[in-house]
Structure 1
Amino acid sequence: MTTDVSGTNPVSHPEPHADTLRYTAFTDDPAGGNPAGVVLDAAGLDEAAMLAVAAEVGYSETAFVTGRDEVARRFRVRYFSPLAEVAFCGHATVALAVALAERLGPGEIVLDTAAGEIPVATRVDGEGAVLAALTSVATRSRPASSTELDAALKALGWAPGDLDPALPPHVAFGGNDHLVLAAASRARLADLDYDFDGLAEVMRRYGWTTVHLVWRESPEHFHARDPFPVGGVVEDPATGAAAAAFGGYLRTVGLVTGPARITIRQGEDMGRPSDLLIEVGPRDPRVRVTGRAVPIG
């Protein structure tokens, strides 16, 4: 039996592919972070088989290594949620990179994904834990239209007054599209009770992977929650792709004008606290996302 990452009810699944590893990313605690499946040798699996494994694992995403050159430390990777393939997944990338570093040694690796080339640097920190820092594809961000915003707010059960006027709604890209909405208060962010099917329909209509809900505690520290109904889960405890997109958003709206290091606390309200570090420059459209990952069980 695995646990639905929404933190609500246990979900029974048959045993997954025998070589599936389980890691949790953006934490050093197996009870925290965002769980991901990792299959280091998926060369013999077709798309239907990978989707079936991801559904059996039951986590928001599973990463599959479908090709490799260990001498060059270059790997071809696909990502699947329990319901569909996604172009890129940040927390599964961190989990995969840590799993590879534990087997091949720390250093630089390159992942070829559907979203593009993702370099990842891995190293062992002073506490003996493996850190992985991925560099996203080029990010971009645009204002959300009134139609997009109205549909999202209705599904979330939020009012326009619940938003922070200093952080305008945007659709931001960091490998996938994410709607970015900033809550006016921590209490608004904590009170998440949305229309699961309604928000999923809105997200499918506009092509969003998650809705990245944030609250700004300070210019360098944000709290986040990421509804992920299109992936079959209520909420993602840590979302590296959304964090990358959010870094691009901060640059676009002028909240980053020089090199910046910003921390994001996610998963706290669902009992799986996660810590993501993003590094954003004023001119480089890419964003660096750093975190730990540890095996589960």
Structure 2
Amino acid sequence: MEILSYRAFTTPADRRSGNPAGVVIDADALERDEMLAIATELGFSETAFLMDVTPGLARVRYFTPRDEIAFCGHATIASGVALARRGAGETVTFATRAGAVPVAVDPRTATLTAVETDVHPLDEVALGALLEALRLRPADLDPALPPAFVRGGNPHPLLFVVDGVLPALDHDDEAVLAVQNRFGWDGTVPVVRRCSAERFVSRNPFPRGGIREDPATGSAAAGLGSYLRAGGHVATPATIHVEQGAETGHPSLIEVHIPVDGRIRVTGTAEEL
């Protein structure tokens, strides 16, 4: 077994960039409690445990310091790069609790193909509770991009805000976690600002992951791509870029590929810590 530390969705100009993730290769002998203990000791928002690793295939389980989750985008990117550096082929299919996730890999970059994602309006009761926990007002929301509930790798809400709201975002950690527990949301809580047709900025509270805010969230970026296509908010095919993590000290860049139909793809670079 090998325990590695990576940062994923890095930017070339900043050595602090990217979201830290644990990657545990050949974790077949570990029990669930041992995986959770390792994830807790590493202290990253997520750690990926790779098992049954063979050329082109791997079974993966993901743990936050609090619990197991179905999927994690940045730990998948990190795992793909880690396997590529150990001689994996051009594509590795990860068997996850969310479904099969093909990942194109090389020693610096990985592109994951997200699982099928559904997008629905966000329930008014859930929206009200979420706004209170985030310390936002209805007037802070972008009327052109309605709130949504996204169910893909991890179920999560998706909010869009007007200019000037993101820099001042100051959510209540415990209140956000209570809302996540109440409604069964496993992922982050993306709060997004559309800056142009191709550029988005996101802040993602993530108390369920044991941290205040996630520096880069690949699964949420895939959900954003599904939302934009489903609502006709982007002309497909399209590639968008999501900037995230500056407020955490770890600025990150996520590239999202939105085809006319079919599954969304997410690309990022990764470096070993």
TM class, shorter-chain normalised?
over 0.9
Check conservation: 2:197, 2:234, Cα contact below 8 A.
no
Where do 1:4-15 residues align within 5 Å?
none
Q: 2:52 aligns with which of 61, 67, 70?
A: 67
Where do 1:123-272 residues align within 5 Å?
123=106, 130-185=108-163, 187-208=164-185, 209-272=187-250
Q: TM-score of the superposition, structure 1-length normalised? A: 0.88
Q: How far apart are residue 266 of structure 1 and its match?
A: 0.5
State the distance in 1 between where 2:2 and 2:223 align. 32
State the distance in 2 between where 1:52 and 1:211 align. 25
**Residue in structure 2 matched with residue 51 of structure 1 by the alignment:** 36
Check conservation: 1:256, 1:282, Cα contact below 8 A.
no
Spell out, residue by residue over 1:269-295, the C-alpha distance to the aligned partner (whole angstroms, 9 max, x if none). Answer: 2211100000112321x1100000001
| Structure 2: segments with no counterpart, 5+ residues | none
**Residue in structure 1 matched with residue 271 of structure 2 by the alignment:** 294
**Residue in structure 2 matched with residue 10 of structure 1 by the alignment:** none
**Residue in structure 1 matched with residue 90 of structure 2 by the alignment:** 107
Spell out, residue by residue over 1:64-120, the C-alpha distance to the aligned partner (whole angstroms, 9 max, x if none). Answer: 0122223xx100000000000010000000000000001115511110000000000
Partner of 2:115: helix, strand, or coil? coil
State the distance in 1 between where 2:228 and 2:183 align. 21
- Structure 2 letter corresponding to 1:292: T
Partner of 1:278: helix, strand, or coil? strand
Check conservation: 2:78, 2:270, Cα contact below 8 A.
yes
Partner of 1:96: helix, strand, or coil? helix
Partner of 1:103: helix, strand, or coil? coil
State the distance in 2 between where 1:30 and 1:37 align. 18
Check conservation: 2:100, 2:115, Cα contact below 8 A.
yes
- Structure 2 letter corresponding to 1:55: T
Say what the alpha-carbon RMSD is for the aligned residues.
1.2
Spell out, residue by residue over 1:12-42, the C-alpha distance to the aligned partner (whole angstroms, 9 max, x if none). Answer: xxxxxx8310000000454111000000111
Partner of 1:202: helix, strand, or coil? helix
Check conservation: 2:43, 2:65, Cα contact below 8 A.
yes
**Residue in structure 2 matched with residue 25 of structure 1 by the alignment:** 8
**Residue in structure 2 matched with residue 6 of structure 1 by the alignment:** none
Q: How far apart are residue 256 of structure 1 and its match?
A: 2.4
Q: How far apart are residue 163 of structure 1 and its match?
A: 0.7
Shift in CA distance, 30/82, structure 1 to aligned 2, threshold 3 Å: farther
% identical aligned pairs: 47
- Structure 2 letter corresponding to 1:206: F
Q: TM-score of the superposition, structure 2-length normalised? A: 0.96
Partner of 1:203: helix, strand, or coil? helix
| Structure 1: segments with no counterpart, 5+ residues | 1-17, 125-129
State the distance in 1 between where 2:88 and 2:61 align. 22
Check conservation: 1:174, 1:248, Cα contact below 8 A.
no
2:99 matched to 1:116? yes
State the distance in 2 between where 1:197 and 1:288 align. 32
Check conservation: 1:215, 1:224, Cα contact below 8 A.
yes
Displacement over 6 Å in runs of 4+: none
State the distance in 1 between where 2:21 and 2:236 align. 33
- Structure 2 letter corresponding to 1:155: A
State the distance in 1 between where 2:196 and 2:4 align. 37
Q: Aligned pair count? A: 270
Partner of 2:189: helix, strand, or coil? strand
State the distance in 2 between where 1:123 and 1:226 align. 28
Partner of 1:104: helix, strand, or coil? coil
State the distance in 2 between where 1:131 and 1:173 align. 26
